[in-house]
Structure 1
Amino acid sequence: MAVADRTSELARARRLIFEDQLGEAMTVVDRVLAGDQAPHDRVEALTLRLITLINLGKAGDLAAALDAGLAAARQVQDPAQYGELQALAAIVALRAGSLDRCVRALVHGSRALGAVELTDEGTAWGWHNLAMAYSYTGFHGHALAAMEKAREVAVEVGVPTANTDFAAPQIRLRLAVDLDHRGDSEGCQRILRDIVHDLERKQKDDELSRLRPIARGAMGYAVVRLGTLGVVQTGLEAWPLLESAGMSTRAGDLRTLGAVCQAIAERRPIEAVARLETATVAEDSLGGAEIHRLRALAHLGAADYRLAYHADRSAFRVAVAQLDRLRDLFVEGVAALLDHEDMVRRIDFHRGEALTDPLTGLPNRRYLEEHVSKLFKAGGHAVLGVCDLDGFKDVNTVHGHLSGDLVLQRVAGVLNRVMRKGDFVARYGGDEFVVVLPTTSAGEAREISRRIVAAVAAEDWHSLVPGTPVGVTIGWAGLQGEDFGSVAAAFEAADHAMLRAKAPRPRAAS
Structure 2
Amino acid sequence: MPSSQHDTSFSTWQDDFVRLRAVMLEEPPHRVIDVAERIAEASTDPMRVAQARQFVLAANINLRDRPGIRAALARASDAVENCPDLRLVGNFNALAAWSAYQSGSLKNCGTHLIKAERALSTMTERGEPAANAWRNLSLTYSIMGYHQEAEAAFTQMMAVSNVSLWDLGRMQAVVRCAIALDHRGDADGCATALRDLLVDIPDESELDPPSREWLNFAARRLTALGHPSGIRLSGSVDLPVFREVRLLAQACDLISAGDGEDALKVLDHPDVQGNVAGAAEPLRIRSLALSSLGRYAEALAAERQVIANISDQSDRLRPLLLDSVGALLDHEHLRKTAARYADAAMTDPLTGLPNRRRLERFVRDLVARGSDAMVGMLDLDGFKTINDTYGHATGDQVLQRVAGILARSIRIGDLLARSGGDEFVVVLPEATVADADGIGARINEAVTGDDWQRMVIDIPVSISIGWAPLKPGFVGVADALHDADQAMYRVKRSRRKRLNRA
Is the TM value for this pair above 0.5? yes
Aligned to 2:266: 275
**8 Å contact from structure 1 (residues 10, 29) kept in 2:** no
Specify which of 474, 492, 496 is matched with residue 489 of structure 2. Answer: 496
Separation in 1, partners of 2:207, 2:28:
14
Residues 167/479 of structure 1: CA separation in 2 closer, same or farther (3 Å cut) = closer
Report the CA distance between 1:383 and its aligned residue.
2.2
**8 Å contact from structure 1 (residues 81, 122) kept in 2:** no
Residues 9/420 of structure 1: CA separation in 2 closer, same or farther (3 Å cut) = closer
Specify which of 221, 224, 234 is matched with residue 225 of structure 1. Answer: 221
Aligned to 1:178: 180
5+ residue gaps, structure 1: 156-160
Aligned to 1:505: 498
Give the SS at the match of 2:276.
Answer: helix
Aligned length: 493
Aligned to 2:3: none
**8 Å contact from structure 1 (residues 10, 28) kept in 2:** no
- Give deviations 1:187-206, integer Å, cap 9, x for gaps: 111122223334xx32xxxx
Specify which of 334, 351, 368 is matched with residue 342 of structure 2. Answer: 351
Specify which of 1, 10, 13 is matched with residue 3 of structure 1. Answer: 10
Aligned to 1:305: 296
Aligned to 1:317: 308
Give the TM-score taking structure 1 as reference length: 0.88
Specify which of 470, 476, 487 is matched with residue 461 of structure 2. Answer: 470
Give the SS at the match of 2:198.
Answer: helix
One-letter code of the match for 1:76?
C
Separation in 2, partners of 1:213, 1:459:
44
- Give deviations 1:367-424, integer Å, cap 9, x for gaps: 2232222222222232222222235344334433322222221211111111122222
Specify which of 311, 320, 326 is matched with residue 329 of structure 1. Answer: 320
**8 Å contact from structure 1 (residues 363, 426) kept in 2:** yes
Separation in 2, partners of 1:506, 1:407:
23
Separation in 2, partners of 1:393, 1:296:
48
1:412 aligns with 2:419: no
- Give deviations 1:97-127, integer Å, cap 9, x for gaps: 2223323323322332232334222112222
1:192 aligns with 2:194: yes
Give the SS at the match of 1:445.
Answer: helix
Residues 272/403 of structure 1: CA separation in 2 closer, same or farther (3 Å cut) = same
Separation in 2, partners of 1:8, 1:344:
42
Specify which of 359, 367, 373 is matched with residue 376 of structure 1. Answer: 367
Trace 1:75-86 onto structure 2 (pairs within 5 A). Answer: 75-86=82-93
Give the TM-score taking structure 2 as reference length: 0.89
Separation in 2, partners of 1:508, 1:105:
39
- Give deviations 1:160-191, integer Å, cap 9, x for gaps: x7455567412211111211122221111112
Aligned to 2:414: 423
Residues 346/28 of structure 1: CA separation in 2 closer, same or farther (3 Å cut) = closer
Residues 32/396 of structure 1: CA separation in 2 closer, same or farther (3 Å cut) = same
Residues 6/430 of structure 1: CA separation in 2 closer, same or farther (3 Å cut) = closer
Separation in 1, partners of 2:401, 2:212:
43
Identity %: 35
Separation in 2, partners of 1:196, 1:384:
68
Residues 471/260 of structure 1: CA separation in 2 closer, same or farther (3 Å cut) = farther
Report the CA distance between 1:216 and its aligned residue.
0.8
Separation in 1, partners of 2:144, 2:212:
22
Separation in 2, partners of 1:397, 1:293:
41
Give the SS at the match of 1:385.
Answer: strand
- Give deviations 1:406-445, integer Å, cap 9, x for gaps: 2221211111111122222222222222222233333332
Residues 209/126 of structure 1: CA separation in 2 closer, same or farther (3 Å cut) = same
Give the SS at the match of 1:504.
Answer: helix
Separation in 2, partners of 1:469, 1:312:
38
Specify which of 47, 58, 63 is matched with residue 56 of structure 1. Answer: 63
**8 Å contact from structure 1 (residues 475, 501) kept in 2:** no
5+ residue gaps, structure 2: 1-7
Separation in 2, partners of 1:335, 1:385:
26
Aligned Cα root-mean-square deviation (Å)? 2.8
Residues 398/383 of structure 1: CA separation in 2 closer, same or farther (3 Å cut) = same
- Give deviations 1:74-113, integer Å, cap 9, x for gaps: 4433222322222222212212222233233233223322
Give the SS at the match of 1:496.
Answer: helix
Residues 505/100 of structure 1: CA separation in 2 closer, same or farther (3 Å cut) = closer
Separation in 1, partners of 2:139, 2:351:
31
